[in-house]
Each structure stands twice: as structure tokens, then as C-alpha cells.
């Protein structure tokens, strides 16, 4: 896979450019998955855990309490390492270090060019340690190693190079006034940014948040997800190796009710950025408001429609819809988890979607050719199986899958439901797993209304060769991103965020810089101006 292709997309699948039913029932005896890898002994990861402490003020330290917690291998449920468990006292230490680094340290005072060079050196180090970082990410998260090594880690380097390029292009304006005054605006770093990242894309979410925050001259306290604390510690060490001053970036591993809540409530934190569930996002927003009214960026849940129109090439549509849902074990906030298919091609689509799911390779993510690894942990594993039961109980047709895969670890069979109705839990609620739900529609007005009838508005996919259909849907869908004849294209320049309960604000691209800047107006009288 070419480097340019790797770094422009998480799922590098796009389709040709635009130009101007019978029910299929399936049974549980129809599984034809490639299962060998899940029954073999797990492959020993080609990496060791070097960093398992908190990173505060440029040093790795134990939690103040001395407590640790286990991070687990989702392939087996066994312990990888015991990691320092940060709580309120550790957040206070980290915020104190970040505040001192911002108020007294060199980071916001060095030239933009100097900050740029540090971020570029960091991107070089990411590339140098690509395989090591990817192996640690796969071990702690369960995603296929090929995905980590060929797509996600290269994208981390790309994102930091992108924001390094912005460091010396952040500036204010000179604006006219109605009178003899010189007026200018200054774009200033916001200060200490608190950031909380999720477990499904630990490294990418690290880059999406740290990149713009540092480019703008801020300091950061970042809380990792308790399920996946390891990769952020490793890459943060590389960032300090690149020349980052002490205290600019602080990493605290810990749990939401303790470390996360303290970070959101802290009176000396100037901004919060959070990626995670909508329910937790509500808590983050409330805590931030009740403390010092700090601004909050939220990237939350989704239930994205993927709309297959009647002019579809069904084979291409099936493959794209499959990737849109099953990528990353279905653990994507923007997964195309409501597959709307026009009634004229519905039966053919369902049959082929079932066949494609049955061909999906499931097993040890370190094995070459594996498409799907385990779910992140036992809690998520059980949640997905619960939703599969909900689908059956509600009357949807289970075409294939529907159970655990193998006998060890958190693997789930790729699952496909047909004859799904909009009011079923599997069509309304975020499953966050490898469960495809296929719904039937008759016309554009109907599918627009149904697609928008959701509390979420993160993303949508449209598959059509008709430019008029595409134009109608791209404007009508109430979502933050519409992918047309492609899905999961995540270039560093493309803003990402949602409507409605999918969040507030945007990440990536130029838009994300606004999250980490304050705008100050400066007005000065002018005596005897030659012009105004």
C-alpha cells in the first residue's frame, strides 16, 4: 500500500467518479468464516512494554497512591502490564506542571519556527519507530497489526507534520474601525488544555488532539483510556526526545470517575477536549460548566447511515458497506451501522453482504491477512452479544454470525441482520461492534427522513452514480461528514465532528486550531492619521 494512500484514509476504499425483493433467510448453521487463527496459540508480540508509569513534568513517575491497574491483551484476556493508576492528586500534579510550563516555560515563548522543528523531529521519530509503535497498539487494542503499521501509525506522523506546518501561519488580522483607531486581533494560545482520548483509536486520537494544541503553543494534560494506556506513553517519550520542554505534555493513565472527573473540574485547566460516548460527554460538559466554564470540544457517538441507491453496482456497494461497518472490529464512532438499501437491489445486496461477511478473516491480529481481531474487552464483548440478542428478539433476520468466535479472547463472528426496522434497538443505538443492519427503502424523500431520524449526526455514506442524487443527499443529511462513493477517508486536512448529540466542534484540519486559541482585540488611538 503506497504511503500516500496509507495516510489519506483509514479504509482506503473509494469507487468510480459520479456520472450525470425476496427475503433471504439464514440460519446459525451457515457459518463459513476462516477460524484457524483464533484457535492457535497467540503470536508473541514483537515488542516489550517499556513505559508503564505516569508522565508528569517530563519524567515517568509512579502514581501518588502507588496503585496500578492491569491492561489486558484482548486476544486472551490476560494481563500485558500493570500501569500506574492516576487519580485526583496525580491530575493536580500534572496540571501544576502544565501551568508552570505555560506561564513560565519556553514553549509558548519560542518562535513558531522552533516549535515547528520539534514537531517535525517527532514525526521523523514516529516513522523510525513505526513497527514498534504499531505492535504495541495492536497488543493493547486488538486491531490488526497491518492496520496499525500500514495505516494508523503513518497517519500519526502525517498529522503532526500537518500541524507543524501551521505553527508559523497562526496570526491575527488588522481590521478597520469607524474612527481614528488602529485595531488588530491577536490569536493567543488558550493555556492548559485537558484532553481525554478513547480506546478504539488511541494513537490517532492522541495525534488529533495533541497536534493542534501544541501547534498553537499550549500545554497539555492528557488522560488515556484505561483499556489502552500503553501507546501514548511510548510516543510521548519520543516527543520529549524530539526536544519538547518539560511539562508541556503530561500523560495520566487512570479512570473516568477519578482522573477524568478531576481534569474536567479543575479550575486551572483552560479547555477540555473529549472523545468518547455521548453519555460520558454529557458529564464532561457538566463538570466543565460547573467549574470555570471552560470551553469543551466533544466528539461523541454515532449511528451513521450508509445509503445504497437503486443505480448501485451491487458488488462494489457490498464491499464498501462491509468496510464501512466492520473496519476496526466495528469499533468506530462513524461506522456505517445503518445500511439503507433501495428495494430494487435489496435482496441481491443482502445475499452478497452475507457472503462477504462469511469470508471475513477473524483471528490473531498479529497474523498476516487477518481482517478482524478481538473486541477491546469483556464488557464490550458482552454488550455486542446483548444487541445481537435484541435484534433476534425484535424480529430481524439473522443472516449470519450472531455468536462468539472461538473459545478464547473477545472475538465475535461478523454478523449481518436483514429485515431491520427503524424502531429496533440495533437500528437506533450504537452497538460499536461487527454487526451490520440492513434496512430497505423506496425513494429519496423516505430515506432522507429516516436517515435523519436519529439523535446522532456524525457521518453518512452515499453510494450512487447519479450526480443529482448525490447533491440532494449531501445537503439533506444532517451530519458532519458525507462520504460519496467512499467511506472513512480521514485526511489530516479534513475536519471531523458531528451534529446533534454526536458532539460539538471539529477536529483535524484548520478548523481544529480554533479549539486551542483565544482571540484578543487590541485598539489604539491614532493621532492625525494619513488614512483610515
Are 337 and 430 in contact by the 8 Å Cβ rule? The answer is yes
Task: Report which secondary-structure segment, H or E, holds 250.
Answer: strand 249-253
Q: What is the C-alpha separation between 408 and 412, in angstroms, rounded?
A: 11
Cell of 376: 477491546
Q: What is the C-alpha separation between 203 and 51, in angstroms, rounded?
A: 15
Let me know if 299 is a catalytic residue: yes
Are 130 and 153 in contact by the 8 Å Cβ rule? The answer is yes
Cell of 239: 516527543
Q: What is the C-alpha separation between 240 and 244, in angstroms, rounded?
A: 5
Closest listed residue to residue 366, CA positions, set 93, 89, 142: 142
First to last CA, the chain: 56
Cell of 33: 468464516
Are 312 and 485 in contact by the 8 Å Cβ rule? The answer is no
Selecting among 137, 152, 299, 348, the annotated active-site residue is 299
- Which residues is 372 bridged to in the sheet? 362
How many residues are recorded in the chain?
532
Are 364 and 333 in contact by the 8 Å Cβ rule? The answer is no
Are 463 and 309 in contact by the 8 Å Cβ rule? The answer is yes
Sole residue written with cell 438499501: 341
**How many Å is the Cα radius of gyration of the chain?**
24
* Helices and strands: H and E segment counts in the chain: 17, 22
Are 74 and 143 in contact by the 8 Å Cβ rule? The answer is no
Q: What is the C-alpha separation between 375 and 332, in angstroms, rounded?
A: 12
- Collapsing DSSP to helix, strand or coil, 254 comes out as strand
Task: Report which secondary-structure segment, H or E, holds 357.
Answer: helix 346-359
Contacts of 31 (CB under 8 A, 6+ apart): 358, 400, 401, 413
Cell of 515: 479549539
Closest listed residue to residue 297, CA positions, set 263, 315, 278, 274: 274
Q: What is the C-alpha separation between 416 and 434, in angstroms, rounded?
A: 8
* Residue 353 CA, distance from chain mean position: 25
Q: What is the C-alpha separation between 159 and 137, in angstroms, rounded?
A: 17
Which residues are the active-site residues?
A: 299
Amino acid at each position: 500500500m503506497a504511503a500516500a494512500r496509507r495516510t489519506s484514509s483509514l479504509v482506503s476504499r473509494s469507487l468510480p467518479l459520479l456520472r450525470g425483493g425476496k427475503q433471504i433467510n439464514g440460519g446459525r448453521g451457515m457459518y463459513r468464516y476462516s477460524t484457524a487463527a483464533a484457535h492457535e496459540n497467540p503470536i508473541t508480540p514483537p515488542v516489550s512494554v517499556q513505559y508503564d508509569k505516569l508522565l508528569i513534568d517530563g519524567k515517568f513517575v509512579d502514581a501518588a497512591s502507588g496503585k496500578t491497574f492491569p491492561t489486558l491483551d484482548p486476544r486472551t484476556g490476560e494481563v500485558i502490564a500493570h500501569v500506574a493508576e492516576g487519580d485526583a492528586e496525580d491530575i493536580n500534579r500534572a496540571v501544576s506542571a502544565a501551568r508552570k510550563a505555560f506561564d513560565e516555560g519556553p514553549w509558548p515563548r519560542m518562535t513558531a519556527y522552533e516549535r515547528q522543528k520539534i514537531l517535525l523531529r517527532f514525526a521523523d521519530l514516529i516513522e523510525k519507530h513505526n513497527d514498534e509503535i504499531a505492535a504495541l497498539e495492536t497488543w493493547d487494542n486488538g486491531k490488526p497489526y497491518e492496520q496499525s503499521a500500514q495505516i494508523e501509525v503513518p497517519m500519526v506522523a502525517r498529522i503532526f507534520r500537518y500541524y507543524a506546518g501551521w505553527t508559523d501561519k497562526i496570526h491575527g488580522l488588522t481590521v478597520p474601525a469607524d474612527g481614528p483607531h488602529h485595531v488588530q486581533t491577536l490569536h493567543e494560545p488558550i493555556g492548559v488544555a485537558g484532553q481525554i482520548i478513547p480506546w478504539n483509536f488511541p494513537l490517532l486520537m492522541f495525534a488529533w488532539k495533541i497536534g493542534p494544541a501544541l501547534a498553537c503553543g499550549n500545554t497539555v494534560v492528557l488522560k488515556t483510556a484505561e483499556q489502552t494506556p500503553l501507546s501514548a506513553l511510548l510516543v510521548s517519550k519520543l516527543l520529549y526526545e524530539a526536544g519538547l520542554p518539560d511539562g508541556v505534555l503530561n500523560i495520566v493513565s487512570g479512570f473516568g470517575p477519578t482522573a477524568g472527573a478531576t481534569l474536567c473540574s479543575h479550575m486551572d485547566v483552560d479547555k477540555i477536549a473529549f472523545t468518547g460516548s455521548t453519555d460520558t460527554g454529557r458529564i464532561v460538559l457538566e463538570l466543565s460548566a460547573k467549574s470555570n466554564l471552560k470551553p469543551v470540544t466533544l466528539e461523541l457517538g454515532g449511528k451513521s447511515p450508509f445509503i445504497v441507491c437503486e443505480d448501485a453496482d451491487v458488488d462494489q456497494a457490498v464491499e464498501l458497506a462491509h468496510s464501512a461497518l466492520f473496519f476496526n472490529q466495528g469499533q468506530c464512532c462513524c461506522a456505517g451501522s445503518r445500511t439503507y438499501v433501495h428495494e430494487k437491489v435489496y435482496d441481491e445486496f443482502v445475499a452478497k453482504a452475507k457472503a462477504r461477511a462469511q469470508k471475513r478473516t477473524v483471528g490473531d491480529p498479529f497474523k498476516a491477512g487477518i481482517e478482524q481481531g478481538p473486541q477491546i474487552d469483556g464488557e464490550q464483548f458482552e454488550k455486542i452479544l446483548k444487541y445481537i440478542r435484541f435484534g433476534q428478539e425484535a424480529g430481524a433476520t439473522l443472516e449470519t454470525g450472531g455468536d462468539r468466535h472461538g473459545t478464547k479472547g473477545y472475538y465475535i463472528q461478523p454478523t449481518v441482520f436483514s429485515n431491520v426496522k427503524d424502531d429496533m434497538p440495533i437500528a437506533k443505538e450504537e452497538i460499536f461492534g461487527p454487526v451490520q443492519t440492513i434496512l430497505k427503502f423506496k425513494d429519496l424523500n423516505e430515506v432522507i427522513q429516516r436517515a435523519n431520524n436519529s439523535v446522532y449526526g456524525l457521518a453518512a455514506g452515499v453510494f450512487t452514480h447519479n450526480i443529482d442524487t448525490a447533491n440532494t443527499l449531501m445537503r439533506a443529511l444532517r451530519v458532519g461528514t458525507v462520504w460519496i462513493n467512499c467511506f472513512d477517508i480521514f485526511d489530516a486536512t479534513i475536519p471531523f465532528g458531528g451534529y446533534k448529540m454526536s458532539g460539538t466542534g471539529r477536529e483535524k484540519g484548520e478548523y481544529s486550531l480554533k479549539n486551542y486559541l483565544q482571540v484578543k482585540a487590541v485598539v489604539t488611538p491614532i493621532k492625525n492619521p494619513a488614512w483610515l
